[in-house]
Amino acid sequence: MKKQLLSILKFLFFLSIGVLLIWLAVKDKTDAELTNIKGALQQANYFWILLSILISGLSHFFRALRWKILLAPLGHKPKTSNTFFAVMVGYLANLALPRLGEVSRCGLLTQYEKVPFVQGFGSVIAERALDVVCVILLFFMTLALEFEKISGIANDMIFTPLSFKLQGIMQKPVLMIILVSSLFLLIAAFLYFRKKIMGLMSEKIRGFIKGLWEGLLSVKKVNKPVMFIVHTIIIWLMYILQVYVCFLAFEELSGLSFVVAMVITVFGSVAVVVVPGGTGMYQLIVIQILTTVYFISQTSSFAFAWSVWVSQIVLILIAGLLSLILLPVLNRSSAEEAELSDIKSN
């Protein structure tokens, strides 16, 4: 009960951050700006947005296929339909509570395919570890391809705002004294408790690296390593492609390259991790990148960011709810056959 309450409080906290970010994104918009954004949305070519939704759905399908490859060495061969439905229900659950999706998709595979929960969960950890590696690799690829732009993002989003804040602090002597005193106290406390702190830090770092390494090692057991790598590449190519295709829906963004879509995919992934579904933060990051780095107007950037985010949420809601309905329906005959065989054996 205590864990459930803590999970709910966590969800409400992160959701409130998302709502706050949405409010920050729209609070300073004038009626004229909101009218322009509405006009941009009305003029968008929704063929490309619908195509983006289809590509996104295919990326989830390939994720389900990749999951099957991971489960095969463990002696399980679930139906593709069940793995796909479980993946979509997992995404739906993650909109409600962070990390609930991983638990729910494994629970569904246990229920309908008799895959032991612990084994299913271990395979999902391996997937997540691989996703982290993919994001890191994509980041370095975009850094190599767009060094000036990426460094510009870091400067605009981190260093410039930080320098402005520091200038403001320097102009307030009382606040400066409090901050300097606090800094000295923190340094003194660190020096006094350094052995315990370093021990805890090293333990946590070791634990993280060990968990990540174990997850990656489980990937080595796959029977079809080439297909596993191909599926992984396809998944991430589709993530980028679904963003790129949405560029074509807006006239001002239609000239942006595939590399720009890579940049948005990498930084957008961070938003989805921090806030459930990326609510608010995804839009804020995408708008900031497009306006400050690629000099796209606020109107088009705003319309694009919201179009991409809403289309993905709509897909998850529809496909997730349909999956919840179809799972028991399509597995009814299998359950009835199993029940009959149990009766006959008894």
SS3 of residue 218 by DSSP: helix
Q: Which of 205, 3, 220 is nearest to 103 (CA)?
A: 3
**Per-residue pLDDT, 143:** 80
11 located within any domain: no
Bigger pLDDT: 263 or 38?
263
Q: Model confidence over 8-24: pLDDT tens digits?
A: 554 555 455 445 545 55
- What residues make up the domain containing 227? 46-327
304 located within any domain: yes
- CA angle, 41 then 43 then 45, to 5°: 95
Q: Which two tokens stand for residue 16?
A: 């409130």
By 3-state DSSP, what share of the chain in percent is helix, strand and coil, each rounded to 5? 85, 0, 15
| Residues 260, 258: Cα–Cα separation, whole Å | 5
**Per-residue pLDDT, 215:** 44
Read off the pLDDT of each residue in 211-231 and give the average, rounded to a whole number: 71
Q: How many domains does the chain have?
A: 1
| Residues 230, 83: Cα–Cα separation, whole Å | 18
42-51, 88-97, 192-201, 259-268 — which is least confidently predicted? 192-201
Bigger pLDDT: 279 or 293?
293
64 located within any domain: yes
Q: Which two tokens stand for residue 67?
A: 């999951």
107 located within any domain: yes
33 located within any domain: no
Bigger pLDDT: 51 or 1?
51
| Residues 310, 249: Cα–Cα separation, whole Å | 14
Read off the pLDDT of each residue in 178-194 and give the average, rounded to a whole number: 67
Quote the pTM value: 0.72
**Per-residue pLDDT, 21:** 47
Residue 53 has pLDDT above 90, yes or no: yes
143 located within any domain: yes
Calculate the dihedral angle through the C-alpha atoms of 324, 330, 333, 335, rounding to the nearest 10 degrees: -30
Q: Which two tokens stand for residue 324?
A: 């919840």
41 located within any domain: no
- CA angle, 208 then 214 then 218, to 5°: 150
73-87, 89-103, 316-330 — which is least confidently predicted? 89-103
Bigger pLDDT: 256 or 95?
256
Q: Are 342 and 324 in contact (CB under 8 A)?
A: no
**Per-residue pLDDT, 164:** 56
Identify the band that residue 43 occupies on the pLDDT scale cut at 50, 70 and 90: confident
| Residues 201, 188: Cα–Cα separation, whole Å | 18
Calculate the dihedral angle through the C-alpha atoms of 265, 59, 271, 310, rounding to the nearest 10 degrees: 100
**Per-residue pLDDT, 334:** 59
What's the mean per-residue pLDDT of the chain?
76
Q: Are 292 and 152 in contact (CB under 8 A)?
A: yes
Identify the band that residue 253 occupies on the pLDDT scale cut at 50, 70 and 90: very high
60-64, 97-101, 234-238, 307-311 — which is least confidently predicted? 97-101
299 located within any domain: yes
Read off the pLDDT of each residue in 290-298 and give the average, rounded to a whole number: 88
Q: Are 215 and 130 in contact (CB under 8 A)?
A: yes
Bigger pLDDT: 243 or 187?
243
